[in-house]
Structure 1
Amino acid sequence: MNLNMNSAESLVAQIQGLSGNAGDLTQLRNYLKQSDESLRAESTQLAPLLTELDPSMHSLGYLYILDACTSGPISKEQANEVVLSVARFVNACAAEQIRMAPDKFISVCKRFKDQVMLLDDPMRGVAPLLTALRKLQTSSEQLTTLHPDFLLLCLLSKCYKTGLSILEDDILDVDQPRDLFLYCYYGGMICIGQKQFRKALELLHNVVTAPMSITSAIAVEAYKKYILVSLIHLGQFSTNFPKYTSSAAQRNLKNLSQPYLELANSYSTGKISELQMCVQTNREKFDGDKNFGLVKQVMSSMYKRNIQRLTQTYLTLSLQDIANTVQLNSPKEAEMHVLQMIQDGEIYATINQKDGMVRFLEDPEQYKTCEMIERVDSSIQRIMMLSKKLTTMNENMSYDPSYLGKVGKERQRFDFDDFDTVPSKFNI
C-alpha cells in the first residue's frame, strides 16, 4: 500500500467504520494485519492520521498506526512527543479492543518504557504503565509481560508504594517464565526498599526455586539478596534447598555466591568482630553487586539479634552492660538501638533515663482484640480461597491432553504385569 491521499482516507474510513461491534472489529483486525507491513513501510507519513481518530472509540486502528509510527529509530529529541502520544493513548484506549492485538499493545508500551528511560525520567512512565497492564490483564491473577517493566520503572523512580500495589495480587496465570523471574526479582527489591522483608523473602524464594534448565543471572542475583534478607529478617540462613528446586539451581547457586555464604557463616557465630572482618574481606564484591547497603543492614541486625537474646536471659540490664555485651561503642548507641527496636515492635521494654537501666517486658499482645480477630479471619479466608483455586487447577490439569500424554509416556516405562507376582500378604 503506497500511502497516497486516497489510501490514507480509505484506511481512516475503514477504522472508523469497523470499530462499532465485535464482528466489525474482527474484520478490522484482519484488514490491519494484512496492511501491517505496508503501514510500517510508510510509518513516517502516518502521524497526521492519528488526529482523525478517537483513541477511545477507534483503539484497535489507532494502536496499529501508533505501533507503525514508533517502530523506527527515535531520537532523544523525538522521545518526548512519543511519550506524550503513547501516554494519552494508554489512558484513553478501550481494553476490549487492545486485547485483540496484545502483541502490538505490548510493543508500543515497551517502546514507551525505553523512551522514558532514554529521557532519564522513569517516573513519567509509572502511571501509564500501571494503567496499561491493568487494561491488558483479563484478571488480576494474570502476569503480563508489562509487569516487570512497570516494577523496573518503580524501582528507578523510587515509587515503591506504587509498585507494591500490584505485588498484593495472587499470580496464577503466567505466560513467559522470564516475566515471572523479573517480576519476583524486581518485586523483591521493591519490598526491600519498603522494609517489607517477609514479602521480599517470598518473592526472592520464588526466583531461586522456580523451574530452570540453566542457572540464570537473575536467579544468582536473587539468591544473593535472599541470603542477605534472610539474615536481616530471620537472623539465620539455611543452605538447604527445598526438594522442588531445580537441579541447575542446586548445582550452581552456592558456587556463584560464596562471599554471601561466608557472610552467613560469620553471622551465625553471633560475633560482630568476625562479621566485620568478613565484610571488609568481601567489600569489593558486595559493592560490585550493589548490595553493600543490604550488607550494612545485616550488620545492624546482628546488634538487634544479640539484644533480643539478652531479653531471654535478663529482666533488667544497664545500657552500659548492653553496649559491652553486644560490642556497641557507648551506652548512648545502645539506647538508640533499644529505642528503635521498641518502636519497631522487635522487643518490649522500658528505659529509665535517670539510672540508665532497661527493663524487658513480656509481649502485651493477647490476640483477642477486634483488629487481631479480623486479621486472623482475613488470613483464613484467603487461604481457603487459594485452596479452592489450587483444587480447580489440579482438576483442570488432570484433564489436559498434553499432561495426560506425558503421564502416559512415563507409565510406559514400567511393566505393570510384574505386579501380578506380588505375594498375596501385601494385598489390601
Structure 2
Amino acid sequence: MAAEDSKDKEHKEEKMDIDVADKPAEKEKSPEEIAGLVLNDIKQNFGFLEKAANNFEPRFSMRVLRGLGGLRRRLTPDIIVSALDAAYSSPDHKSAQLVLKYLEREATSSTMDVDASATVLPEIDIYMLLLTQVYLLDQGDAEKLNAFSDEAIVTLRSYNRRTLDALAAKMWFYYAHAKELSNMFTEIRPMLLGVLRTATLRHDTETRAMIMTLLLRNYLNTQTISQAHQLVLKGDFPENAATSVVARYLYYVGRINAIQLNYSAANESLIGAIRKAPQTKYAAGFLQAAQKLKVIIELLMGDIPERSLFREPMYKNALLPYMDLVQAVRIGDVPQFSQTIEKYRDAFKKDGTYMLILRLRQNVIKTGIRMMNLSYAKISLRDICIRLHLDSEESAEYIVAKAIRDGVIEATIDHEKGYMQSKEILDIYSTQEPNIAFHERIKFCIALHNESVKAMRYPMNQHRVELKNVEEAREREKELATEIQQGDIEDDDGDFDGL
C-alpha cells in the first residue's frame, strides 16, 4: 500500500509539472494596451456620471470617486487628452482649453470639432478637471497645481447642482492640499469659510463636511486650537457624509480634545475614526497616525494599550517608538521614559505627539507609585524618592498625597515617621467598575447598530412606484367589477351545450 501511494504521488507530481510546463506564460501588456484600458475606465465613469445626473442617484458618483485612487497611478497626458476627445465635442470648450494649457498639449482628434455648440454634462466637465488636478499633484509641481486649481475652482463655482456635490467636495480637497503645499494656510481660510456658508445654504452635505474637515486641519496646522474648538462646537457636521470624510473629521476632533485635556472624548473620536477608515493598504498612513495618537491618549487616561496592536504588520514598524514608550510607562520607570523621549524626539515631533508625550511624566510617576503600593505594605518616602528619581522627600510626599486623593492608590501617609502605609486591596467586583465597563460596551453596541441602520441604502422614490402599482391594481379591479355588473363579459356556458 505504501509503495502504491508513493507511485500515485509521483504520478500526480509529474502531471502537475507537465501542466505547468504546458501553461503559456501571461504576456505583459504593452503601454498602448494599458492606455486603452485606462481610457475605457474613464469612459465607463462618464456613463456612471450620466446615470447619477439623470436619476439623481449619488451612489454612482461615489463609485466613480472610489476608483480615482487606482486610476490616478496610471494617468498620462496622452490618456487625459484622449479622454478630452471623448468628453468634449469641441476643442474650444473653456475647460478643454484649460486642461490642454496646463498639460502643454494640443487637441489631437478631429472628432472634437463636430458640433461646437453641443454642451457637455457638468459632472463630466468637473470630472475631467479633477483628473487633471490629480495628475498635476502627482507630478509634484506645486506652482502649476496652484495655478490650475485657481482656474478650475472658478468653473466649479459657476455650477449649482446637487449631483455635483461629491465631485465638488473632492476638488475642494485637492485645492486646499495644493495651497497647503505652498504654506498658504491663512490665505485660503477666508475662501473656505465663504464656501462653508454657501454649502450650508444650499444644503450641500458633501461639500459642507469636506470644508469643515479642511478648516479643522487648517486651524491645527496654524496652532489656532481655540478657533478649531469653536468650529466643532458651533458647526453642524452632517452625519450622512462620506465615511472617509467622517473618519478624517473625527481624527481632527480627537486631536483638538486631546490638546484641551478632554482625553475620554478624544479617545471616543479616535476609535470612531479608526473604525470608519478603510482597512486597506491605501489608508495605512491615516490608520498609523490615528493609532499613534490613540496610544498616547490611552496612556494619559491611565490605560495600557494591548500588546497585539504593536504586532500587526501595518503598525509594527510605525509604532516601534511608541512601544518603547508604553513599556516605560507600564513599569513606571522614569529614567527609561526620559531616554525614550530623547531617543525618538524627532519622530515624535514629526507625528505631532511630542507635547502630549511630555504630559506623560506624571502618569509614569503615578504608575511607579501604584507598583510600589502593590509590592510593599510599607515603604519610606525616601525610598520612593530614590526609586522615582525625584528631587526631594517633600516632592515624593506631595505626589503620593495627590495619588491618594485622585484614587490612584489606596494608602495612608505617616508624616511624622515618613512612610506610606498601603491598605488592603478590595475586590474589584464589589465596586462599580464592572457595571461601568458593561455599560460602555452596551452603549457602543447600540451606537454601532444605529449607524448600521442609517448606512442602509434604499432606492430613491421606490415607495412612489409601489404606490403607483397599487393604485393601478385597484383601478383594474374596479373596471373588472364594473364589467361583470354590466354583463359585458360573456359567460362560457355555451361551451357545454353538447354535453
Percent identity of the aligned residues? 19
Establish whether residue 151 from structure 1 lines up as the match of residue 216 from structure 2: yes
Q: Which residue of 2 aligns with 1:173?
A: 240
CA–CA separation in structure 2 for the residues paired with 1:186 and 1:331: 41
Q: What pairs up with 1:249-288 in 2 under 5 angstroms?
A: 250-288=312-350
- 1:187 to 2:248 alignment: no
Q: Is the 8 A contact 1:142 1:173 kept in 2?
A: no
How far off its partner does 1:268 sit? 1.4
Say yes or no: does 1:219 pair with 2:287: yes
**Structure 1 gap ranges (5+):** 1-32, 44-59, 243-248, 361-378, 401-428
Query: Whose radius of gyration is greater, 1 or 2?
Result: 2
CA shift, 1:155, in A, is 0.5
Q: Cα–Cα, structure 1 residues 42 and 340, in superposed 2: closer, same or farther, change >3 Å?
A: farther
280-289 vs 123-132, which deviates more?
A: 123-132
Indicate the RMSD between aligned Cα atoms, in angstroms.
5.8
- 1:78-89 to structure 2, matched below 5 A, reads none
1:299 equivalent to 2:299? Answer: no
Within a 5 Å distance, the mapping from 1:46-57 to structure 2 comes to none
Look up the match of 2:228: 163
Letter in 2 for 1:131: R
Matches within 5 A, 1:305-324: 305-307=367-369, 323-324=385-386
- Out of 389, 395, 420, the residue aligned to residue 450 of structure 2 is 389
Change (3 A) 1:351 1:389: same
Q: Which residue of 1 aligns with 2:389?
A: 327
Q: CA deviation at 1:253?
A: 0.8
Aligned to 1:230: 298
1:288-315 Cα distance to aligned partner (Å, 9 max, x none)? 4443323222233212344567788999
List runs of 5+ in structure 2 lacking aligned partners. 1-87, 99-121, 423-439, 460-499
Seen in structure 2, the aligned counterparts of structure 1 residues 181 and 330 have a Cα distance that, compared at 3 Å, is: same
Distance 2:403 2:202 in 1: 43
AA aligned to 1:240 is S
Instruction: In structure 1, give the amino acid aligned to 2:344.
Output: N
CA distance in 2, matches of 1:259, 1:75: 36
Instruction: Number of aligned residue pairs: give it.
Output: 305
CA–CA distance in 1 between the matches of 2:92 and 2:408? Answer: 62
SS of alignment partner, residue 252 of structure 1: coil
Distance 1:285 1:235 in 2: 23
Question: Could you tell me which residue of structure 2 aligns to residue 406 of structure 1?
Answer: none
> By how many angstroms is 1:261 displaced?
0.9
Amino acid corresponding to residue 255 of structure 2 in structure 1 = M
Distance of 2:406 and 2:143 partners within structure 1: 49
Could you say which residue in structure 1 is the equivalent of 2:23?
Answer: none
CA contact (8 A) 2:300 2:359 kept: yes
C-alpha deviation, 1:152, in angstroms:
0.5
